[in-house]
């Protein structure tokens, strides 16, 4: 039984790790041929990805480490190593392929929100954009509400639970039938909270503020004091 004395040898420009004894010259030859075919296949696959990304012919890209695979072995045809071998050049190709593919596929840009005046049930000055769903229909929806500094919403309630997330600024939220800013708790950018269905609450903002509201539609908002509803205000001539 012959055992390789070196932990690694160079075969055709490729680093090969040796993990076992030499049992058969025929097995050695077969293992070397299989390793060479695998490396050539991977080379063609990666070359195809590069061609697709850059719009060039495959022949324009060369991989020296694999192009030398057919070079004569320094050990001779009858002494090619057998066992489990790992090609350094093949490993490099596998690590580069995902990066090439990622560069060929640009990330999609999120669709811009369409902002408009908030529904008339809100005090004037707010703007709203629908993120997903339809607030006028049954089902889950998400919308963003932008309010100027000092904006206030009198005590009101909703028929369904709502989840609120502050995207920008500071939202002041209080519970009860009377607006009392001293009892309101601040929610800063990144904070999330929820208000149960039919819970009486009020809100105000400090600085320009944007919040995201998620709830089940259709959206409805009822003021504790009907006189606070902007829809009931009649413009004077």
How far apart are the C-alpha atoms of 112 and 49, rounded to whole Å?
Answer: 32
> How does residue 58 score in pLDDT terms, banded at 50, 70 and 90?
very low
Per-residue model confidence (pLDDT) at position 233: 72
Judge whether residue 35 has pLDDT over 50: yes
Q: Which residue has the higher pLDDT, 232 or 87?
A: 232
On the question of pLDDT at 73 being above 70, the answer is no
Question: Partners of 130 in the beta sheet?
Answer: 143
- Strand locations in the chain, DSSP E? 2-3, 8-11, 14-17, 21-22, 116-117, 127-132, 139-147, 152-157, 162-175, 185-188, 192-195, 201-217, 222-223
Q: Which two tokens stand for residue 121?
A: 């049930």
User: 233 or 20: which carries more pLDDT confidence?
Assistant: 233
- Tens of pLDDT, residue by residue over 187-202, are 999 999 999 999 999 9
Q: Is residue 11's pLDDT more than 80?
A: no
Q: What is the pLDDT of residues 140-158, one digit of tens each?
A: 999 999 999 999 999 999 9
Report how far residue 103's alpha carbon sits from residue 91's, in angstroms, rounded to the nearest whole number: 20
Q: What is the pLDDT of residue 112?
A: 87
What pLDDT sits at residue 129? 96
| % of the chain residues with pLDDT over 70 | 52
Which alpha helices (H) appear in the chain, and where do they start and end? 25-54, 64-67, 88-104
Per-chain mean pLDDT for the chain: 73
Q: What domains are there in the chain, each with its CATH number?
A: 2-104 (no CATH), 116-229 (2.60.120.10)
Question: Can you give the pLDDT at residue 232?
Answer: 83
Tell me how many degrees the CA angle 125-157-191 measures, rounded to the nearest 5: 70
Give yes or no for residue 33 having a pLDDT over 80.
no
Q: Is the pLDDT of residue 166 over 60?
A: yes
- Does the structure show a pLDDT above 80 at 207? yes
Q: What pLDDT, on a 0 to 100 scale, did the predictor assign at position 127?
A: 97
User: What per-residue confidence (pLDDT) applies to 193?
Assistant: 95
Which of 70-74, 96-100, 132-136 ranks highest by mean pLDDT?
A: 132-136
Token readout for 229 is 């509803």
pTM passes above 0.75: no
Kindly give the interhelix angle for 25-54 and 88-104, rounded to the nearest 10 degrees: 20
With 0-12 / 13-18 / 19 or more C-beta atoms within 10 angstroms meaning exposed / middle / buried, residue 7 is exposed
pLDDT at 228: 96
């Amino acid at each position: 039984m012959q055992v390789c004395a070196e932990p690694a040898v160079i075969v055709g420009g490729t680093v090969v790790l040796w993990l076992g004894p030499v049992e058969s010259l025929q097995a050695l030859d077969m293992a070397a041929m299989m390793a060479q075919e695998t490396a050539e296949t991977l080379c063609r696959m990666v070359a195809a990805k590069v061609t697709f990304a850059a719009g060039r012919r495959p022949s324009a890209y060369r991989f020296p480490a694999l192009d030398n695979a057919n070079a004569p072995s320094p050990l001779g045809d009858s002494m090619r190593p057998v066992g489990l071998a790992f090609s350094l050049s093949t490993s490099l190709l596998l690590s580069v392929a995902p990066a090439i593919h990622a560069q060929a596929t640009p990330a999609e840009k999120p669709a811009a929100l369409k902002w408009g005046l908030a529904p008339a049930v809100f005090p004037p000055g707010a703007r709203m954009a629908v993120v997903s769903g339809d607030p006028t229909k049954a089902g889950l929806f998400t919308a963003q509400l932008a309010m100027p500094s000092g904006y206030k919403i009198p005590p009101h309630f909703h028929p369904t639970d709502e989840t609120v997330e502050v995207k920008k600024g500071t939202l002041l939220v209080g519970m009860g039938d009377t607006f009392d800013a001293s009892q309101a708790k601040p929610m800063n950018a990144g904070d999330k909270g929820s208000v149960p269905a039919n819970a009486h609450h009020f809100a105000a903002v400090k600085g320009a503020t944007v919040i995201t509201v998620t709830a089940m539609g259709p959206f409805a908002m009822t003021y504790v004091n009907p006189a606070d509803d902007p829809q009931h205000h009649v413009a004077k001539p």
